[in-house]
Structure 1
Amino acid sequence: MKELLTFPKDFWWGSAWSAEQAEGRGDTGKAKTVWEHWFETEPNRFYEGVGSEITTDHFNRYKEDVQWMKKTGQNSFRISISWARMFPNDGVGEVNQKAIAFYRDLLTEMNENGIKPFANLYHFDMPVALQDAGGWESRAVVDAYVHFADTCFKEFGDLVYHWFTFNEPLGPILGGYLEDFHYPNQIDFKRGAQAGFNTILAHALAIKAFKKLNLSSKIGVILNLSPTYPRSQNEYDLEAAEICDAFYTRSFLDPMVKGTFPEKLVEIMREYDQMPEYTEEDLTIIKENTAQILGLNYYEPRRVKARLTAINEKSPFLPDWFFEPHNMPGKRMNIYRGWEIYERGIYDLCIDIRDNYGNIESFISENGMGVANEERFLNEEGQIQDDYRIQFVKDHLAYVHQAIAEGCDIKGYHLWTFIDCWSWINAYKNRYGLVSLDVETGKRTMKKSGEFYKKMSDMNGFEYETSKLVGTKREENN
């Protein structure tokens, strides 16, 4: 039997994207980012040789795009502010007045159309000159970031609803130092640990600067979080999951929300001589300046088991010295992205935040489904019939609704993404949007999911077969 699932009053219905993935270069002047540099040097690493020069061309079409936000029922939307655009002299020096004018115009347009602006300060797009000067391994780069953040607070503080220091700070560490999917393409855990620590310190220093301004908005961070499930309740599988969770979930979540570091992670890093350099003052700053609001990016669970093979000790130190992935039989997959679809994971994540992180005010800041060759699903009227995306959203939101019913302080849901956008080295291989983008012409076309999202927002909910909600108190009470 279907029920009408109604969400709390003033729930944030929206979506998100980043400057590098949507704006295009524009004409304000802009420092070269790590992505633009990497594309110039190794275009073969990018799907079909497509870089970020134009992307969705949001810079030139932002007024049109704000109207598309309204057409798809969004009352909130997350942008990122380009460090390279704000400081075109390689990320430092004088602020760019043309960039200020662009972002003020965009934020004003959003506010005037009833769309709350959520502004993120860093989404993987460091000016390459700063990366070459050490990136997040460098304290000078941390100082440059804090100056950038403080400038944004002062220039746009009257227009932004909520602020975020970083989106998925784990991503550049994994990609840049452990897994080779992000410039500078190093395999060096200790350098990555230093970059990670300095990112956490930059987050705390930005919050410290923010608090001095007494703005009405809040500031937090957006983390990509996957519940870690052991293969079994065997003690070795449980230990493997605990260690995996410390590396991939608690490593940023604990210090950025609690102001402390996970003991298990610190213990392992000390034992294997992987600790970063820091001072006691750094730890005090991190302890005293934590997130006021938390964005939860959820796409897939993480499943692990105890290692079955020995480690070659002459190989680089990596987290998977302590566990290996568990390929669970029967799991459902998004075959295009290679990710497991497991809706209950979003519920388990919310419960974890409720029980272990003070039930900090949170929202689902990313969740979505990328699918290749969506033109296969065009109807006679030329609209993409993406029923799979509609079902994906409903299935995840039903678990979010149940988490809220069980006391989780979840204030909204932002889909990734709004209009199909450029996706790092995958370019336009998979499409995520509520609105379809013609890459050749820039034309926007409403997908079926965009119409659904508008209806869901207007109703502040949707009908759903709640018997599908397994592993929750609702199931226990039935």
Structure 2
Amino acid sequence: MVLLNLYIVYFVVCILSVNSTCTTNNDEDVRKFPLNFAFGTATSAYQIEGAWNVSGKGENIWDKYVHKNPNVVIDKSNGDVACDSYHQYDRDIEMLKELGVDYYRFSLSWSRLLPTGSVANVNNDGVDYYNNLINGLLKHNIIPFVTIYHWDLPQKLQDLGGWTNPIIQDFFEDYANFVFRQFGDRVQHWLTFNEPKQICLCGYGQTTFAPGLNMTGVGDYMCGHNLLLSHARVFHLYDKKFRIKQAGSIGITIEGTWSEPFSSSKEDFNAAERFMEFEAGWFMNPIFSIKGDYPAVMKERIAVNSAIQGFSKSRLPEFTEEQIRLLKGSSDFLGLNFYCSTMARHINTNVSSEPSYEDDANVYSYVNQSWPHAASSWLTVTPWGFHNYLNRIKNLYDNPEVIITENGYSTWGGLVDNDRIKYINLHLNALLDAIKDGSKVTGYTVWSLMDNFEWQQGYSEKFGMYEVDFQDPSRKRIPRKSAKYFIDVIRTKSVKHYDPEYYEINDCTNSVYV
């Protein structure tokens, strides 16, 4: 197993010493996780660190995007200060210790370490910051789980074309080599990228995320191609130069959304499958499938549409046979971010004269309004979709090891967040169902440790188990009810089994929920 290989004896002793929190629960109501199962929580650099232009940090694409276009964020906010974790990492570590997590997933700011994106210009203050954070985590037996890239490309590299320019592969490999050398003696769990689809589709195909280039059907595919090849190069770099000495593992995090057919028709079933192939298969298939390469449906549809539109070749770049071989199996585990499900319906449309990812996928995807909703308009509560998606991965990709690297629920604020507790509990039960079905899921990560800058939603939506007061210059953090719930889950390595239709939070006298 990837996680807990260093501390398993310590955690087994702790688990065996803990009794159930609520004595009113019957034994049959409690579901146990495997002893080597790990729990954590997550953040990302731009969303929490702040200190955007101090201590030698360079400008990144989100800095530029929100400063130049403040209206793209619903509350016109930005990550200039955010949670001020650059100055308050000690409090962050204290919160993680309070929760009792096995690991903490955080990301490195490329432009804080290498202000221009190049290893020719190292910011030692940035190196010191991450050394202090990593050492502080290890001091409290918290495993650092590090994402190398979480959406915040140095602006100097974007000026060269960013992820659409093949030269980015060289820069990313150099950057990864640098962080392995700097931190790999203490960091043994790595992710190359967080959510490639959001990087490419939302940042290069649309204007949802930085850099907001709006090059749909072209820029997004170029981005995805270079990103995948960058991932493969860094995986093999780690494999050849660092794995034996540092005894670590490296993977990638991909977001998955379960797609439910609108009807039982073959057309809608195919539309749902097509949605999932275009959404996550785009990046999972080249790495985790037996044959490798992009999903067949992507290759076929984009090639046909490109020909109709007068292109001389497919807008989807083509891998060489050597690149296909390099990509296949280039991950020790699959990091899965799962939040919700969607509905899918087949549509009959003529191909537009202009390239479009939406035309290529040809799926009408929408949120079922009858499903329970979080504060985020896109976030529905569909634990059955989580179960289905894990089974899909098991069956489609020869049952790889999966670590849930994000799963979470948004509210509008407040310390009593019963809906978040219910969401997490339902998804943990669905996860246990998937393990029972044979899925190799070894870890679960709540998004997020604390409220933070949620991209276009700014600070309006709250995902944190800790509330952050963004009006307070000290950015005071206060635990929510969900934090106390998660403490109980981690301590007991278990969740209560219940009928979700009648679920209520149990506030019995000696409960941590009180």
Q: Which TM-score applies when normalising by structure 2?
A: 0.85
Per the TM alignment, residue 245 of structure 1 is displaced from its structure 2 partner at its CA by 2.0
Give the paired residue count. 458
Per the TM alignment, residue 277 of structure 1 is displaced from its structure 2 partner at its CA by 5.5
Unaligned runs of 5+ in 1: 376-383, 470-478
Residue 82 of structure 2: aligned partner: 55
In 1, distance between residues paired with 2:91 and 2:78? 23
Residue type of the alignment partner of 2:374: N
1:325-344 correspondence to structure 2 within 5 Å:
325-326=365-366, 328=368, 330-344=370-384
Per the TM alignment, residue 264 of structure 1 is displaced from its structure 2 partner at its CA by 1.4
Residue 181 of structure 2: aligned partner: 154
In 1, distance between residues paired with 2:109 and 2:174? 13
Tell whether the 8 Å contact from 1:121 to 1:166 is kept in structure 2 after alignment: yes
Residue type of the alignment partner of 1:45: V
Residue 69 of structure 2: aligned partner: 42
Pick aligned residue for 1:464 from 492, 497, 501: 497
Matched, 1:431 2:462: yes
Tell whether the 8 Å contact from 2:116 to 2:157 is kept in structure 1 after alignment: no
Per the TM alignment, residue 236 of structure 1 is displaced from its structure 2 partner at its CA by 1.5
Residue 446 of structure 1: aligned partner: 479
Residue 20 of structure 1: aligned partner: 46
In 1, distance between residues paired with 2:264 and 2:484? 44
SS for the counterpart of 2:450 is: coil
Tell whether the 8 Å contact from 1:255 to 1:290 is kept in structure 2 after alignment: no
Structure 1, residues 53-101: CA drift from partner, whole Å, max 9, x if none? Answer: 1111111111121011011221111010111111013445232222222
Residue 121 of structure 2: aligned partner: 94
1:236-275 correspondence to structure 2 within 5 Å:
236-258=267-289, 259-273=292-306, 274-275=315-316
Tell whether the 8 Å contact from 1:221 to 1:256 is kept in structure 2 after alignment: no
Tell whether the 8 Å contact from 2:452 to 2:459 is kept in structure 1 after alignment: yes
In 1, distance between residues paired with 2:405 and 2:66? 28
Residue type of the alignment partner of 2:280: T
SS for the counterpart of 2:257 is: coil
Residue 121 of structure 1: aligned partner: 148
SS for the counterpart of 1:229 is: strand
Residue 317 of structure 1: aligned partner: 356
Per the TM alignment, residue 270 of structure 1 is displaced from its structure 2 partner at its CA by 1.7
In 2, distance between residues paired with 1:278 and 1:323? 25
Residue type of the alignment partner of 2:188: Y
Matched, 1:200 2:228: yes
SS for the counterpart of 1:272 is: helix
Pick aligned residue for 2:137 from 80, 95, 110: 110
Seen in structure 2, the aligned counterparts of structure 1 residues 173 and 347 have a Cα distance that, compared at 3 Å, is same
Residue type of the alignment partner of 2:371: K
Q: Which TM-score applies when normalising by structure 1?
A: 0.91
In 1, distance between residues paired with 2:113 and 2:401? 30
Residue type of the alignment partner of 2:325: T
**Following TM superposition, where does structure 1 have runs of at least 4 consecutive aligned residues deviating by more than 6 angstroms?**
none
Residue type of the alignment partner of 1:178: G
Structure 1, residues 202-261: CA drift from partner, whole Å, max 9, x if none? Answer: 000000110011231110011100122211221211222232222112100111323432
The more displaced of 201-210 and 18-27 is: 18-27
Structure 1, residues 356-391: CA drift from partner, whole Å, max 9, x if none? Answer: 21221111111111112x24xxxxxxxx11111111
Tell whether the 8 Å contact from 2:200 to 2:219 is kept in structure 1 after alignment: no
In 1, distance between residues paired with 2:189 and 2:464? 23
Matched, 1:223 2:254: yes
Residue type of the alignment partner of 1:50: S
Per the TM alignment, residue 13 of structure 1 is displaced from its structure 2 partner at its CA by 1.2
Per the TM alignment, residue 467 of structure 1 is displaced from its structure 2 partner at its CA by 7.7
In 2, distance between residues paired with 1:277 and 1:408? 32
In 2, distance between residues paired with 1:336 and 1:126? 26
In 2, distance between residues paired with 1:313 and 1:65? 49
In 1, distance between residues paired with 2:468 and 2:367? 34
In 1, distance between residues paired with 2:47 and 2:493? 29
In 1, distance between residues paired with 2:499 and 2:40? 23
Structure 1, residues 288-334: CA drift from partner, whole Å, max 9, x if none? Answer: x51111111111113111115x3462344223451212554632222
Matched, 1:283 2:311: no
Per the TM alignment, residue 279 of structure 1 is displaced from its structure 2 partner at its CA by 4.0
Per the TM alignment, residue 175 of structure 1 is displaced from its structure 2 partner at its CA by 0.8
Percent of paired sites with the same residue:
27
Residue 10 of structure 1: aligned partner: 36
Tell whether the 8 Å contact from 1:83 to 1:91 is kept in structure 2 after alignment: no
Seen in structure 2, the aligned counterparts of structure 1 residues 466 and 18 have a Cα distance that, compared at 3 Å, is same
In 1, distance between residues paired with 2:319 and 2:437? 40
Matched, 1:300 2:340: yes
